[in-house]
Amino acid sequence: MKKRVVFNQKGGVGKSTISTNLAAASAKRGLKTLIVDLDAQCNTTHYVGVDNSDDIHTVADMFKQTVGWFSKTLTAEDFIQPTAFENLMIMPADPALGEIERELESRYKMFKLRDTLAKLDDQFDRIYIDTPPNFNFYSKAALIAADSFIVPFDCDDFSAQAIHRLLDNVMELKSDHNPELACEGIIINQFNSQANLPKQLVASLIEQELPVLNTHLSSSVKVRESHSQRRPLPFLAPSHKLSQQFEALLTELEG
Ligand SMILES: Nc1ncnc2c1ncn2[C@@H]1O[C@H](COP(=O)(O)OP(=O)(O)OP(=O)(O)O)[C@@H](O)[C@H]1O
Ligand SMILES: [Mg+2]
């Protein structure tokens, strides 16, 4: 089982879109794939069509169980929901993640996600973890649980300035808590090859010897359509340019 986390502390850079579409492309290849949604916004959970207002167990319940707030004893499998897509499952988020964060942090539960995912080792080939737009308890738990991370970059000057701080934060966590954590690279999202600024920003990252992945993701209105139809792009529009780019990205990551 390989566990990848998609992380950037900046909001709106494409974390949920990228983690969901990579997971969907992975499932389409026949790999048993789990998405873990750690963001209280629940965007990824909704994107794959799971309604967490139903009486289902979520990743928040998994954390609640570790502090004894949950009366029943549940196993790792109990926090997983099927999706409408073959080979694709999700550990859904719920808004309660925000309410319990302080308590979890003060009780040092950052390692519990890693322990839970380890129990699923023989059931999944790949796990994709979507993180909130903060270097907070949940992002740290994800980076501790994962084998590798990828960083979406939205071709914005503020993002370029923030990338060193981001990598410093992750490297510190790696050395303290997860020495095996590998950086798979920076994924350029919403790339517009006709405009100068994105090209300059990407060239500057490469000049600084930052690990920019070869595949770039274009900007497309199809992303919003895909969100609203709750169908990841590889299922909604397999021959669309952006779906093909997600396929290429997955191939690049998988080697
Ligand atoms: N390649 C793309 N083409 C067009 N729109 C995109 C693309 N990637 C992301 N978007 C849009 O950008 C917005 C943010 O995307 P997304 O929710 O995936 O980012 P995020 O990093 O998960 O955000 P947050 O930090 O709030 O969790 C969404 O409105 C989405 O439709
Ligand atoms: Mg998101």
Instruction: Provide the pLDDT for residue 21.
Output: 98
CA distance 151 to 246: 15
CATH number at residue 165: 3.40.50.300
Instruction: Provide the pLDDT for residue 246.
Output: 98
Instruction: Provide the pLDDT for residue 53.
Output: 80
Read off the pLDDT of residues 40-80 as tens digits, 9 standing for 90 and up.
999 999 999 999 887 899 999 999 999 988 777 899 999 99
On the question of pLDDT at 169 being above 90, the answer is: yes
For the chain, what is the mean pLDDT? 96
- Bridge-based pairing of strands 88-91 and 33-37 is parallel
Least confident of 126-140, 150-164, 214-228: 150-164
Domain with 127 in it? 2-254
pLDDT band at 238 (very low <50, low <70, confident <90, very high): very high
Domain count, the chain: 1
Range list of H helices, 146-185: 157-177
In the reported structure, the alpha carbon of residue 150 is separated from the centroid of ligand 2 by a whole-number distance in angstroms of 14
Is ligand 1 within 6 A of the CB of residue 217?
Answer: yes
Contacts 24+ apart (CB under 8 A), 96-103: 96/40, 96/58, 96/60, 96/64, 97/38, 97/39, 97/40, 97/59, 97/60, 97/63, 97/132, 97/138, 98/40, 100/60, 100/63, 100/64, 100/67, 100/69, 101/136, 101/137, 101/138, 103/67
Read off the pLDDT of residues 194-236 as tens digits, 9 standing for 90 and up.
999 999 999 999 999 999 999 999 999 999 999 999 999 999 9
In 3D space, the residue among 83, 50, 48, 28 whose CA is nearest the CA of residue 227 turns out to be: 48
Read off the pLDDT of residues 98-125 as tens digits, 9 standing for 90 and up.
999 999 999 999 999 999 999 999 999 9
Pocket test of ligand 1: the residue of 5, 7, 17 to mutate, having most ligand atoms within 8 Å of its CB, is 17
Phi and psi torsions of 20, nearest 5°: -70, -45
Instruction: Provide the pLDDT for residue 72.
Output: 76
Mean pLDDT confidence for 120-143: 98
Instruction: Provide the pLDDT for residue 254.
Output: 97
Instruction: Provide the pLDDT for residue 187.
Output: 98
Pocket test of ligand 1: the residue of 45, 188, 223 to mutate, having most ligand atoms within 8 Å of its CB, is 223
CB 179 within 8 A of CB 215: no
- Which burial class, exposed, middle or buried, applies to 121 when counting CB atoms under 10 A from its CB (0-12, 13-18, 19+)? exposed
Instruction: Provide the pLDDT for residue 103.
Output: 96
First to last CA, the chain: 15
The number of the ligand 1 atom at minimal distance from the alpha carbon of 221 is: 4
Nearest ligand by distance to the CA of 22:
1
Q: For residue 214, what are the contacts with CB-CB under 8 A and spacing of at least 6? A: 252
In the reported structure, the alpha carbon of residue 84 is separated from the centroid of ligand 1 by a whole-number distance in angstroms of 22
Beta bridge partners of 34: 89, 127
In 3D space, the residue among 210, 154, 158 whose CA is nearest the CA of residue 185 turns out to be: 210
